[in-house]
Amino acid sequence: MKINMFSSLKKIIEDVNEASNLQQALNIIVHDTRKVMRADAVSVYFRDEKTDQLVLMATEGLNQNAIGKIRFNLDQGLVGLVLRQAEPVNIEDAHSHPNYRFVTETGEVSFHGFLGVPLIQHRHVLGVLVVRQTRKRRFSANEETFLITLAAQLAGAIAYAEKMGELKNLLDDVDTKPFNMKGLIGSPGIAIGKVLVVFPPANLDAVPDNAITAVETDEQIKAFDAAVMKVDHEFRELSKRMEGVISNEELALFDVFALMLKSDSLIGATINRIQAGQWAQGALRDTIAEHVRHFDAMHDAYFRERAVDIKDLGRRILTHLQAQHTSCQEISGPVVLAGEEVTVSQFAEVPVQNLVGIISKKGSATSHVAILCHAMGIPSVMGLDKLPVNRIKGQEIVVDGYGGQIYVKPSPSMLQEYEHIVRKEQTLDAELKELIDKPAETTDGIHIPLYVNSGLLEDITASLNSGAEGVGLYRTEIPFLMADGFPGELEQTQIYQQVLQSFSPRPVTFRTLDIGGDKALPYFPVVEDNPFLGWRGIRIMLDHPEIFLTQIRAILKANIYDDNLRLMLPMITDVSEVDEAIALINKAHEELSAKGIDVPYPAIGLMIEVPSAVYQMTALAKRADFFSVGSNDLTQYLLAVDRNNKQVSDLYNSLHPAVLLSIQQIVKIAHKYHKPVSVCGEMAGDPASALALAGMGIDILSMTAGSLLRVKLAIRSFTIKQLEKLAAEALFMDSAEEIRLLLNKALEDAGAGRLVRAGHR
């Protein structure tokens, strides 16, 4: 027994270390401990420092619905005694102990044997790990030692989670208490709705916990049984089809599957978990994980292979379960999708008229889903890496895509405030529609063309409807991000043709592939310590001329409508990069001519988004036809602030005087050489910043379609002289805050104060 138990310890600790979050780690601990100690229930309680109470955090054997809800004071019960004494308590019959407390909610009344050990880290008691037995049982000294060893490991994990802020989220009882969290701005706007949790299909590891009510138990068991029947049927069919095709030995595997599908260890164990309060998908996930761990731990390679089979079996059952829509989540009214990593395909889980916002644990503004949100005008907050996805289902939530914040269970006053903003925005949007066909010009008639940023075929309609005069930035990496491998020349040409045709005769600026940094292609991983300072943009393209040439030929060949193509190179830091890239563009053009494909030679522009390029403007102006300021990267590199790091997001500000002074320098030299300059970073779409940019002489502002009419209203509220004066004043100021105040006040004074959102940006 001793050897067995302690050899399991190593495996449990390995599994716990692999858990992706604390809750998952706790679930593994209670599950594995229960099995190894042959106990009837195992539970973990944490001490909530804020309320000085003990909270049930994970259990197997007690009522799952009590998790996060059962709280009691430290002077109560046997668990409290373990915590106060900071020592194990091992009692044959808990009921006879004077400290025994009668609790019905957890179902612990039916247990007698009790062993509780404290979770101690640096002399501080963090919680209690408890093992219970239905019958009277005094746990052995070995078992006590085992549990103490395990508790010491667990305490380390909790202390780490505490440091990382994860514990606070777990302890905050989100079922009853509101909380807010800062993430990364995905796309702007405010959304108010109810949370719908999504997760990738046919992926057991991604299935979230979902506590069910007693009424739902039968329905979940029925759904599970039906899914098992379907898989059984599937295997029979497969087995029949394979007869004579594979050997009898291999065919026998189907019999093994059929037996497993009837086994108590798979079916019975899952049903037990459902009865304990977990939904069918979560129960199946835990049962399969238990089997996989069991097989993985075996020395015999044959048995280890069975872990793969059991996973396959689990996935098949899950697929049928998910096909039955037993999601336990109802969709009505406005919905905010939430998940570990929300994907574009998950958009489809909600009717488009119900979808008002997206929040995701992983991702940033450059994630595909955020880009789509941007195009569709759906507010999103990404990178909420401590989001307790499992525990926010059905909660009311405010998504503030301007500030990258979410508020779960907002207070009535906060809700009122945000509802007011939403109403104001709706009124503004209705008013802005009138501007679609009006020119983007100052009150004294100076035209400042407004273009859109695009990258998805899906957002062409929104871009055209916004009244944009062209595309200032077409991010070609987006079709690459969606593909399974580098798209071929023909495939690329077809995509680019659609874009050029849709916007024709308006100009479309294709930026050549800008990957690296935070934009990793799944099929071309680049692993670096400092990706933003590493192999990015033009650097990768020059090192891979075969990929670059293919893209250039595809872009050039697509230019068959009104010669409305412009080509743009990202991440330029040195003139040699421009010379080499232009040499390759010439080569591609010549290759096409040699094949009899005569296409116009395009205008070539450079993105100015790295400080070295700002200082090399004279040399660059002699080589390029136009410039575009990538203010997102320029801000990040000038201020040394990672644009996707929440820790420093308060320091990231494109109105920083250094950014404005750089842009002034860019415009001055570009204009000296009669080369136009646009801005295609996010700041171009911010009405206040747009005033300063127009006043500094920027020729074109390019932004997400959703921002275009707001910027148009701002521009149409001033004379060019007023804008120039504003820019000149801003350039004399010491801080981004002062500049923001100046520009906001100007908007207010010009009667466009509704473009200034209280407290945002």
Q: 256 CB contacts (<8 Å, ≥6 apart)? A: 309
Stretch that binds ligand PEP, among 325-333, 403-411, 629-637, 705-713 (CB under 6 A): 629-637
Q: Which is nearer to ligand PEP, 63 or 631 (CB)?
A: 631
Q: How many angstroms separate the CA atoms of 570 and 580, rounded?
A: 13
| Among 708, 711, 706, CA closest to 373 | 706
516, 630, 676, 695: which one contacts Mg ion (CB under 5 A)?
A: 630
Q: Interface with ligand PEP includes 606 (CB under 6 A)? A: no
Q: Interface with Mg ion includes 642 (CB under 5 A)? A: no
Q: Which is nearer to ligand PEP, 404 or 630 (CB)?
A: 630
Binding mask 576-615 for Mg ion (x = CB under 5 A): ---------------------------------x------
CB 739, min distance to ligand PEP, A: 19
Q: How many angstroms separate the CA atoms of 501 and 558, rounded?
A: 9
| Among 361, 358, 336, CA closest to 183 | 361
Q: Which is nearer to ligand PEP, 557 or 566 (CB)?
A: 566
Q: Cβ distance 169 to 178 under 8 Å?
A: no
Q: Are strands 405-408 and 179-182 parallel, antiparallel or unpaired?
A: antiparallel
Q: Which is nearer to ligand PEP, 108 or 633 (CB)?
A: 633
Q: Interface with ligand PEP includes 30 (CB under 6 A)? A: no
Q: Cβ distance 675 to 668 under 8 Å?
A: no
CB 570, min distance to ligand PEP, A: 7
Stretch that binds Mg ion, among 116-124, 486-494, 594-602, 623-631 (CB under 5 A): 623-631
Given the residues 374, 589, 656, 680, select the one marked as catalytic.
680
631 binds, among ligand PEP, Mg ion, none (CB under 5 to 8 A by kind): ligand PEP
373 has catalytic annotation: no
32, 108, 609, 642: which one contacts ligand PEP (CB under 6 A)?
A: 609
Residues numbered 663 to 682 that lie near ligand PEP (CB under 6 A) are 680-681
Q: How many angstroms separate the CA atoms of 473 and 425, rounded?
A: 26
CB 270, min distance to ligand PEP, A: 46
Q: Which is nearer to ligand PEP, 79 or 607 (CB)?
A: 607
Given the residues 97, 294, 368, 671, select the one marked as catalytic.
368
| Amino acid in position 115 | L
Number of residues that bind Mg ion (CB under 5 A): 3
Residues numbered 466 to 485 that lie near ligand PEP (CB under 6 A) are 473, 475
**DSSP state, residue 751:** T
Alpha carbons within 13 A on the beta-carbon side of 47:
23
194: region left, alpha or beta (phi > 0 left; psi from -120 to 50 alpha)? beta
116, 516, 630, 687: which one contacts ligand PEP (CB under 6 A)?
A: 630
In the three-class reduction of DSSP (H, G, I as helix; E, B as strand; rest coil), residue 278 is classed as strand
Binding mask 501-520 for ligand PEP (x = CB under 6 A): -------------x------
Number of residues that bind ligand PEP (CB under 6 A): 10
- Provide the 10 A C-beta neighbour count for residue 641: 18
DSSP per-residue letters across 81-144? HHHHHTS-EEES-GGGSTT-----TT-GGG--EEEEEEEEETTEEEEEEEEEESS--PPPHHHH
**DSSP state, residue 264:** I
Whose structure tokens read 């990178």? 383
681 binds, among Mg ion, ligand PEP, none (CB under 5 to 8 A by kind): ligand PEP
Q: Which is nearer to Mg ion, 385 or 633 (CB)?
A: 633
| 430-456 b/e (C-beta count within 10 Å ≥ 16 → b) | eebeebeeebbebeeeeebbbbbbbbb
Q: Which is nearer to ligand PEP, 418 or 627 (CB)?
A: 627
CB 497, min distance to ligand PEP, A: 22
209, 286, 469, 633: which one contacts Mg ion (CB under 5 A)?
A: 633
Q: How many angstroms separate the CA atoms of 84 and 625, rounded?
A: 75
680 has catalytic annotation: yes
Residues that bind Mg ion (CB under 5 A): 609, 630, 633
Residues catalogued as catalytic: 368, 680
Residues that bind ligand PEP (CB under 6 A): 473, 475, 514, 609, 630-633, 680-681
